Structure 1
Amino acid sequence: MRKNNLYQPFEIELKELENYQARPASNSFFELIYIADGTGVQYINHNRFNYRKGNLFLLTPEDIHSFDVGTVTRFFFIRFNRYYIENKSSRDHESVQRIEYILQNASHRPGCILKNQADKPLIASLIESIIIEHTNQQLYYSKIIEQIVKTIITVVARNIALKLPKNVQENTGEPVLAILHYIQEHIFEPKLLRSQHLSAHFGISVTYLGRYFKKQSGETLQQYISNYKLRLIETRLLHSDMRINEIASELNFTDESHLNRAFKKYKGLSPSAFKRQFG
């Protein structure tokens, strides 16, 4: 599939649109989209989400998305690439690696990225400051905008980190972060998630891999994979029109009844009852 590329570390854009023209390609960069005003529907990776003023969306490389504009919407875009994240001194390597991992882990999740309520007015203020600086273009405006963008990315990373496995903290080792990223990236490919394959891919013995992963994440490999699939099922039920048998096929369950049993154990409700109650 053709990719949209970004030929500078980051760029910003403010657009007021009555219709959103979807691009027939995925991005090679990250993209933050802030709703300055307006309402409508976001579509991303088979999911949908009703958007409104104050929502902030993060698109990672490989995401396919579009918007169905309900009322005239002011979109504010911040696009940045890996080089922008990595453009720090070598002593910040671990911090940079964690931020990139956290941003990548927004994949498969629709909706507003802001889970911490206190960050919503903060982001609104930061976005407004960028718009003012860009409009007035006073001395050092470009440097000020660059610093604000870095702050926004850090706030976004904090909000995504709130959804990471319970034991993954700032000092968690890089190998387990790489394993988590790999699992999420290949969640639809069960052969690549077998212990033997993960062991070979990361150069760790099967026995040590299991002990290490549980110590670092608080879950066994299979628990983490199963729980991540169940979270994706929940997302599909709430934000897509996919049938339960289609979700079962996508996530490689034996059949629909297998998915039903696993989900009911996880949420206490069958998938259809969950969708009726919360969808």
Structure 2
Amino acid sequence: MKRYRQFEPILVSEFKSSDWTHPEHNHNHYEFIFIANGLGTHVINGHPVPYQSGAVFFIGPEEYHYFEIEQETHFIYLKFTDAYIYRNATDSGELTRHVEYLRKSRETHQHGFSLLSADLLTVRLLFQVIASLQYDTFANQDLIWYQLLSISTVLMRNMPELQANAGRSRDLQAIFCYIHKNIYTPDLLRSQVMAPYFNITPDYLGTYFKRKAGITIRSYIQRYRDTLIRQRISAGRMILKEIADEFGLTDVSHLSKILQKGTGL
């Protein structure tokens, strides 16, 4: 399988095509893809997903995809690397958390985002702004940053598992989404708080999760949090105190205990 490599922190491309010429591929960066107009199928990780005007897709480095175009399609691509996400430690936190959540919840987003009409208009305008900045992405890095943050915010609130209504899904994916979104707020990850969100009892929440996932909900939360913490340490852009504060941990010693427990060091 072909792998595309991007060395620039951020790239924007806008084009129209009636014939998709790229092979099935993955890449070393993230992609937000907006279908301004057109009709066809987006094949993501082997799953065919029909698309039409207004479709939005988010592709992570671990995913592979290609398009089958039925009607000339107008694409707007926003491609960015980890270097762009972590470019400024003082204001990267919110975008980092959004990207982590969207990436982890790929079972939902690989089918595309179903946006409310008002949000679809907003996203369309945001991508149009991004397209207008493509000719000098270096000078426009800050402007693109805020458009990207706005797009990810809109997509997050349109995740079906997180919408507040009586018909909210109770399946395992919904629980995963809740955990991924609230991993930075320990008080929201207690069974007594989570269970009412899904209209079930705390005991049944734990039993259901263990039966479906093969791991206790507490262990899953710990493993996911530890993974995110190690990624931040590896990036080398945050001190331990900042990481501890971000995840709602009491102090650096608490953080050290988490890492020792996970690595045995």
Give the TM-score taking structure 1 as reference length: 0.56
Q: CA deviation at 1:64?
A: 1.2
2: CA distance between counterparts of 1:217 and 1:167? 8
Offset of 1:59 from its aligned partner? 0.8
Q: Kindly indicate whether the alpha-carbon contact (under 8 Å) linking 1:105 and 1:160 is maintained by their aligned counterparts in 2.
A: no
Q: Matches of 1:92 and 1:161 in 2, distance apart?
A: 26
The residue number in structure 1 matching 2:5 is: 5
Q: Which residue of 2 aligns with 1:144?
A: 143
- 1:223 equivalenced with 2:222 (yes/no): no
When residues 171 and 15 of structure 1 are mapped into structure 2, their CA distance, relative to the original with a 3 A threshold, is same
Q: Does 1:105 align with 2:91?
A: no
Distance 1:92 1:36 in 2: 28
* Pairing 1:63-212 to 2, within 5 Å after superposition: 63-90=63-90, 93=93, 95-109=94-108, 110-134=110-134, 143-160=142-159, 162-163=161-162, 164-165=174-175, 168=179, 172-173=183-184
Cα 1:103–1:215, aligned 2, differ >3 Å: closer, same or farther?
A: same
RMSD across aligned positions (CA): 3.6
Normalised to the residue count of structure 2, the TM-score between the two structures is 0.58
Unaligned runs of 5+ in 1: 178-211, 229-279
Q: 1:48 to 1:176 in 2, by over 3 A?
A: farther
The Cα of 1:69 is off from its aligned counterpart by: 0.3
The superposition leaves residues 29-66 of structure 1 with CA deviations (integer Å, 9 ceiling, x where unpaired) of: 11111111110111111211211111111111211111
CA distance in structure 2 between the partners assigned to 1:46 and 1:37 by the alignment:
23
Q: Would you say 1:52 and 2:52 are equivalent positions?
A: yes
Change (3 A) 1:54 1:115: closer
Q: Deviations over 1:108-129 (max 9, x none)?
A: 3332224444311100111122
Q: Which runs of 5+ in 2 are unaligned?
A: 163-173, 196-204, 215-265
Identity percentage of aligned residues = 19
